[in-house]
Amino acid sequence: MAPFIIRRLFISFFVLLGATFIVYVLAASAGDPRSALEESTDPGKANRIAAMTRNLSLDVPIIPRYFAWLGGALGCLIGKCDLGNTASGAPVSGGLSVAMGSTLRLVVFALVIAIVVGVSIGMITALRQYSGLDYSVTFLAFLFFSLPVFWIAVLMKQFLAIKFNDWLKAPSIPPWVILASAAVTGLIAAGVVGGDRRRRLAAFGGAAIAVGLLMTYFAVTDWFAEPAIGPVAMVVMSAITAIAATALFAGFRSRVVLYATLVTAAVGVICYFALDSVLADPTILVIIGLLVLALLVGAGIGAAMGGLYRSQAIKACMLTAFGCGGLIFASELLAALPAYSAEVNGVVVATIGATTPNFSGNFWETTLDQLGHLLLPTIAIVLISIAAYTRYTRSSMLEVMNADYIRTARAKGLTERTVVVRHGFRNALIPITTIVALDVGGLIGGAIITETVFGWSGMGKYFNDALKIPDPNAVMGFFLVTGTAIVLFNMVADITYGFLDPRIRLS
Amino acid sequence: MSTEEKAAAAAAEAASGNGKPDVGSTAAEGLSIVARTQGQLVRRRFFRHRGAMISLTILVLVVLLAYTSIGFAGIPGWWIWNYYTPGKVVNRGAPTLSLWPTFLGGDGFAIGLHPFGQDDLGRDYFALTMRGAQISILIAFVVGIVGTLIGVVIGALSGFYRGWVESVLMRFTDVMITIPILVIAAVLGQKFGGAGPLVLAIVLGLVLWTALARLIRGEFLSLREKEFVEAARALGAKPTRIIFRHILPNTVGVITVAATLLVANAILLETALSFLGFGVRAPDTSLGLLVSTYQNAFTTRPWLFWWPGLFIITIALTVNFIGDGLRDAFDPRQNRVRG
């Protein structure tokens, strides 16, 4: 493996070098950054032009200028980074690191959601091939492929932010919304469950009634005016988490796993009551510490109770613990919502920027503030990338489910759950890991439009602003980061593929 | 098992159950065997793909509407307004198109003076949208043609000749893939955007060939080892003849599908570039530029925002569906679970 990695590193380095040359020459010849100044009537014009010429070394021809830049950039390898100055004289690396942090915050969150949701949907549609659900999802995937981000973003600002905030001031749920959401959930449930007509009808009825009752409860109690996860809801939802985790990792035949996850959920409910004082105004470190503790406790319960199914029980209990922790976190957030809403004049879902200017509050309020700003750009990125993941997972899963070893697994008499999750899904994930790795590299610099539309001052906006001038040093700073990310993740994709699929490694 | 497969299985059963080799005399009418060439098979499968056929119809109608309504390249169209003369703003520029029939409580079907409304200068918005669609379609197709040509040439050369040709060309492709499409397109658009849509399209085509080149190279790599290529070489065929007569016709499917998807990507890329300000510049217009110009008018005059967006989605969606239909037509085995 090592010679392979070293060879890849070596090639990647030169590929990146070539790419920087192309981008530098193109960016430097895209226009004269001084042209805007030359048209101005500012008396200090000559000085400012001279300053900009000095900052960007515009008096040097492009090719030597590239090598001067390259010399500074290569310094990054030995810890002395010099990416040159921007047109206004500030060092590139300073602005770039701020922008990078901001972009990562946006992209990581969105990517995780897109992968989880996209892969699950793709798997379900592959298992229910040629059903109504499959066709609807396929159509939606094509639609999302064809959506311009900037267009959908404006619609989201209008309907998910401005209209939603107005609605939240006096939340009332009309009967037709209850009926419609019940019907839609019922249809989705029937499509997911599949099988004969009676099974589908039962799924439709069950889901529709559950959602209808829930929505009616929300409407009657005016839940959205003061949202909270009460003790009853906490108990029910923890139990559901425990059951779902068991179904995913072990199936219900192995009772011990179910008991273990239920015990974990019970511990979670106790924490819900016990942790109030700790969670009044915590720091982010306390939250992370509690999360790690929850995972450890879950693993401990799974190990102690799992018996023969120890490894499945540990995983299922850790997932349950994570879910319960998430529920407690959400409940604390919701409790802080009315106070936060009053402080920002009801603008809960923000349309622009990363935080409300001059806003200060306790931990929960600042978290709400950040989440409210993250919501719309995250949805935009998720919508666009979810379509690709759904399609990839679907076709990869279909291919795997056609393989002979799946038939063998069925012939051995394994349950359908084991066949799908352990024999099918795991193998279907191999090509998807590669695509995810490639996507991560692309997304770090690829959120250009989303960031521009939502006024998010990350890498994308940095690039956009730099190119408007055009400022080659700033453009190159941007490209150095994104290009390195892409090259690195390309390598990661190759290596993980070799690692996951021994046929590639050994041939 | 799909109905087609069932029919095929039934036909096979009928033929084998018969026990007699002379199928023609004893087989039922509907089961007689018709010889079809590969091209006919592909065409039949494509024409039976309902989504692709509907999309193709809609796309042709949109293209016809865009190019005949306001005319193109000096040829006048049938629409009364043009896209550049300002006029008097009537009724805040609200659209006069009405599709809601009278018996449902609407105004009946009427096109009116300005079906898509007017912009703030009083220009007819239908004409403007049509002009935007013309430019966006033009750019997408030119990018598709240029990108496909370059991709096929680079892919074919490196796949066929291997050796140093392949190393050089593929390393160059690797370099180009490292640069995000939107980044290099924006940098080029900043320089060439002012030079008119055609120049912009050609320049964008010059950087959008990478995926195609890799795909074609893969096809060539596997096809050049096939027996029929060996046979051709043994008969003394020159490389150009092998490439053009023997290998290239076998990659038509891959090329067609990839080229279609390239056009769909190019539409979205062009609109995104124009939206950011690195694509088509005023006084000319494109669908992305129209959305960008009027994105803040959404609350007061939403029609300025809806129409160009709807046209972008329609074009991109139909092209994507056509690509999907083509893929199914060329490779019907894909995405089918064994029954």
Range from A16-25, A159-168, A178-187, B308-317 carrying the lowest mean pLDDT: A159-168
Whole-number Å distance between alpha carbons of B83 and B126? 8
- Is residue A182, in this structure, part of any structural domain at all? no
Chain A residue closest to B189 (CA)?
Answer: A30
Tell me if A69 sits within 8 A of A77, measured CB to CB: no
Rounded CA-CA distance A107/A374 in Å is 10
Whether A327 and A423 share a structural domain: yes
Q: A442, A459, A490: which is the final residue of a domain?
A: A442
CA A292 to chain centre: 21
Q: Which residues of chain A are within 8 Å of residue B176 when distances are taken between CB atoms?
A: 19, 22
Residues of chain B found within 8 Å of residue A154, distances taken between Cβ atoms = 291, 295, 298, 305
Round to whole Å and give the CA distance between A141 and A383.
Answer: 9
Per-residue pLDDT at A14 exceeds 70:
yes
Please indicate if any CB of chain A lies within 8 Å of the CB of B317: yes
Instruction: Name the residue in chain A with its Cα closest to that of B278.
Output: A468
Q: B109: helix, coil or strand?
A: coil
Q: Which positions ≥6 away from B226 have C-beta within 8 Å?
A: none
Which of A22, A143, A449 is closest, CB to CB, to B179? A22
The partner residues of A94 in beta bridges, in order of sequence, read none
Q: A96-132: per-residue pLDDT in tens?
A: 888 888 888 888 888 899 999 999 999 999 988 888 8
Give CA–CA dist A170/A284, Å, rounded.
33
Closest CA in chain A for residue B322: A142
pLDDT band of B292, cuts 50, 70, 90: confident
What's the confidence (pLDDT) of residue B24?
A: 46
Choose the closest CB to A19 out of B175, B182, B336.
B175
Mark whether A371 and A242 lie in a shared domain: yes
**pLDDT attached to residue A446:** 59
**Closest Cα of chain A to B28: distance in Å?**
31
Query: Is A361 part of a structural domain of the chain?
Result: yes
Distance from CA of A259 to the nearest CA of B (A): 37
- Mutation pick from A12, A32, A154, A453 vs chain B, by most beta carbons of B within 10 Å, is A154
> What tokens were used for A193?
């469950």
Sign of the four-CA dihedral A478, A480, A485, A490 = positive
Q: What pLDDT is recorded for position A321?
A: 94
CB–CB contact A452 B276 (8 Å) = yes
- In this complex, the residue of A16, A146, A445 whose CB is nearest that of residue B183 is A445
Quickly list DSSP for A219-237. HHHTGGGS----HHHHHHH
Residue in A147, A398, A452 nearest the CB of B335: A398
Q: 3-class SS at B124?
A: strand
At residue A240 the predicted structure's pLDDT band, cuts being 50, 70 and 90, is very high
Nearest to A19 among B179, B276, B316 (CB): B179
pLDDT at A505: 64
pLDDT digits (tens, 9 = 90+) for B272-290: 888 888 888 877 888 888 8
Q: What is the pLDDT of residue B107?
A: 63
Whether B184 and A23 lie within 8 Å, measured CB to CB: yes
Claim to verify: residue A364 and residue A431 sit in the same structural domain: yes
Assigned domain for A91 exists: no
Whether chain A has a CB inside 8 Å of the CB on B183: the answer is yes
- A458 in a structural domain: no
Q: How many C-alpha atoms does A157 have within 13 Å on its Cβ side?
A: 18
A131 and A64 share one domain: no
Task: Tell me which residue in B183, B321, B324 faces A479 most closely, judged by beta carbons.
Answer: B183
Same-domain check for residues A479 and A402: no
Output the pLDDT for position B10: 47
Q: Which residue reads 């990581």 in tokens?
A: A108
Chain A contact for B275 (CB, 8 A cutoff): yes
Asked if residues A458 and A451 have their Cβ atoms less than 8 Å apart, the reply is yes
Give the model confidence (pLDDT) of B230-251 as tens digits: 999 999 999 999 999 889 888 8
DSSP B72: B
Establish, for the pair of chains A and B, how many residue pairs have beta carbons separated by less than 8 Å: 131
Residues of chain B found within 8 Å of residue A479, distances taken between Cβ atoms: 179, 183
Tokens of A387: 């379509």
Angle at A321 between CA A318 and CA A323, to 5 degrees: 110
Q: Which residues of A touch B309 (CB under 8 A)?
A: 148, 151
Closest to A211 (Cα-Cα) out of A175, A246, A184, A242: A184
Pick A402's closest partner by Cβ from B183, B264, B338. B338
> For the residues B96-122, what does the mean pLDDT come to?
69
Note whether B179 contacts A: Cβ–Cβ < 8 A. yes
Scan for tokens 């209990």, then name that residue. A317
> Distance between CA A155 and CA A161 in Å, rounded?
9
Kindly state whether residue A461 falls inside one of the protein's structural domains: no
By Cβ distance, the residue of B175, B188, B336 closest to A18 is B175
**Rounded-to-integer distance, Cα B192 and Cα A466, Å:** 17
Whether residue A256 contacts residue A308, with contact meaning beta carbons closer than 8 Å, is answered with: yes
Residues 6+ apart with CB under 8 A from B262: B143, B144, B147, B148, B208, B211, B212
Quick check: A401 and B337 CB within 8 A? Answer: yes
B178: nearest CB among A394, A468, A483: A483
pLDDT in tens, A419-458: 988 899 888 888 888 888 878 877 776 578 888 888 888 8
CB contact under 8 A, B175 and A398: no
Minimum distance, in Å, between the CA of residue A453 and any CA atom of chain B: 9
- Helix (H) / strand (E) element for A501: namely none
- Is it the case that residue A174 has pLDDT exceeding 90? no
Checking if the pLDDT of B114 tops 60, the result is yes
Which domain, by its residues, includes A82? 2-32+34-86+471-500
Whether residue B168 lies within 8 A of chain A, CB to CB, comes out as no
Chain centroid to CA A303: how far?
A: 31
Do A186 and A200 form a contact (C-beta atoms < 8 A)? Answer: no
- Predicted confidence at residue B277, as pLDDT, reads 85
- Chain A residues touching residue B264 (CB < 8 angstroms): 145-146
Q: Encode burial over A101-114: b for 16+ CB neighbours within 10 A, e otherwise.
A: ebbebbbebbbebb
User: Contact A181/A211 with Cβ under 8 angstroms?
Assistant: yes
What SS3 class is residue B98? strand
* A426 token code pair: 């795991």
Mean pLDDT of A243-249: 88
Of A214-218, A225-229, A270-274, A303-307, least confident by mean pLDDT is A225-229
Neighboring chain A residues of B184 at a CB cutoff of 8 Å: 22-23, 26
String of DSSP letters for B156-180: HHHHHH-HHHHHHHHHHHHHHHHS-
- Answer yes or no: do A448 and B337 touch at CB < 8 A: no
Nearest CA in chain B to A463: B183
Report, as an integer, the average pLDDT of B151-167: 90
Per-residue model confidence (pLDDT) at position A323: 93
DSSP code per residue over A324-368: HHHHHHHHHHHHHHHHHHHHTTT--S-SSSSS-TT----HHHHHH
* pLDDT of B253 strictly over 80: yes
**Phi, psi dihedral angles at A196 (to 5 degrees):** -80, 180
Q: What is the DSSP letter of A129?
A: T
For chain A, percent of residues with pLDDT exceeding 90: 22
CA–CA distance, A309 with A322 (Å, rounded to integer): 20
Q: Torsions phi, psi of A306, nearest 5?
A: -65, -30
| A281 φψ region: left (φ > 0), alpha (ψ -120 to 50), beta (else) | beta
**Is the CB of residue B313 less than 8 Å away from at least one CB of chain A?**
yes
Nearest-CB residue to A15 (from B178, B276, B313): B178
Give which of A108, A95, A151 is closest to A465, Cα–Cα. A95
The mean pLDDT value for B77-81 works out to 74
Name every chain B residue with its beta carbon within 8 A of the beta carbon of A442.
Answer: 180
Same domain flag for A102 and A82: no
Q: What is the pLDDT of residues A371-425, one digit of tens each?
A: 888 899 999 888 888 888 898 899 889 889 888 999 999 999 988 888 988 899 8
Cβ–Cβ of A150/B291 closer than 8 Å? Answer: yes
Residue B187 and residue A27: Cβ atoms within 8 Å? yes
Query: What's the average model confidence in pLDDT over A312-332?
Result: 92
Q: CA-CA distance, B48 to A171, in Å (whole number)?
A: 49
Per-residue pLDDT tens digits for B175-233: 888 888 888 888 888 888 777 888 889 988 988 898 899 889 988 988 888 899 999 99
Whether residue A299 is found in the same domain as residue A356: yes
**A452 chain-B contacts, CB cut-off 8 A:** 276
B183, B188, B264 ranked by CB distance to A463: nearest: B183
Per the structure, how many domains does chain A have?
2
Query: B320, A487: Cβ pair inside 8 Å?
Result: no
Domain closes at, from A426, A442, A458: A442
Distance from CA of A328 to the nearest CA of B (A): 39
Torsion-angle region of residue A479: left (phi > 0), alpha (psi -120 to 50) or beta?
alpha
B277: chain A residues, CB-CB within 8 Å = 468
List helix spans (H) across chain B: 3-18, 23-26, 38-48, 50-69, 125-161, 163-178, 181-192, 197-205, 210-223, 227-234, 239-241, 252-276, 287-293, 303-330
> Is the CB of residue B276 less than 8 Å away from at least one CB of chain A?
yes
Does residue A17 sit in the same domain as residue A160? Answer: no
Q: Distance between CA A74 and CA B329 in Å, rounded?
A: 51
- Same structural domain for residues A276 and A375? yes
Structure tokens at A43: 């008396």
Q: Please report the pLDDT score of residue A345 as a whole number.
A: 80
What pLDDT is stored for residue B56 in this prediction?
93
What residue of B is the nearest CA neighbor of A19? B175
- Residue A487 half-sphere exposure toward CB, CA atoms < 13 A: 26
Q: Look at B320 and A30 and tell me if their CB atoms are within 8 Å.
A: no
pLDDT averaged over chain A? 85
B187 and A19: CB-CB below 8 Å? no
Sign of CA dihedral A219, A221, A227, A230: negative
Task: Give the contacts of A59 (CB within 8 A, at least 6 positions apart).
Answer: A53
Q: Is residue A463 part of a domain?
A: no
Q: Are residues A18 and A137 in the same domain?
A: no
DSSP string, A365-432: HHHHHHHHHHHHHHHHHHHHHHHHHHHHHHHHHHHHHTSHHHHHHHHTT--HHHIIIIIIIHHHHHHH
ipTM: 0.81
Tens digit of each residue's pLDDT (9 = 90 or more) over A282-306:
888 989 999 999 999 999 999 998 8
SS in 3 state form for A66-82? HHHHHHHHHHHHHCCCC
Kindly state whether residues A15 and A81 are assigned to the same domain: yes
Residue A7 has pLDDT above 90, yes or no: no
Q: Out of A146, A446, A475, whose CB is closest to B317? A: A146
Residue A503: strand, helix, or coil? helix
Report residue B103's pLDDT band, with 50, 70 and 90 as the boundaries: low
Are B309 and B133 spatial neighbours (Cβ–Cβ below 8 Å)? no
Termini Cα distance of chain B: 4
Phi, psi angle pair for A91, to nearest 5°: -65, 140
Q: Could you give the percent of chain B with pLDDT greater than 90? A: 20
Helix axes B210-223, B252-276, angle to 10 degrees: 170
Query: Could you tell me if residue A198 is inside a domain?
Result: no
Q: CB distance A148–B268 less than 8 Å?
A: yes
**Are A82 and A109 members of one domain?**
no
Output the pLDDT for position B8: 47
Can you tell me whether residue A306 is helix, strand or coil? coil
Q: Tell me, yes or no, if B3 comes closer than 8 A to chain A by beta carbon.
A: no
Q: What residues contact A207, with CB distance under 8 A and at least 6 apart?
A: A182, A185, A186, A188, A189, A190
Q: What is the pLDDT of residue A314?
A: 92
Cβ neighbours, 10 Å, residue B102: 10
Residue with tokens 């979810």, as numbered in its chain? A386
Cβ-Cβ contacts under 8 Å for A101 (sequence gap 6 or more) = none
- Among A480-484, B85-89, B270-274, the minimum mean pLDDT is found in B85-89
> Which pLDDT does position A119 carry in this prediction?
92
The answer to whether residue A161 is domain-embedded is yes
Rounded to the nearest angstrom, the gap between the alpha carbon of residue A173 and the centroid of all alpha carbons in its chain is: 30
Which of A442, A458, A488 is at the close of a domain?
A442
- pLDDT category at A277 given cuts 50, 70, 90 is confident
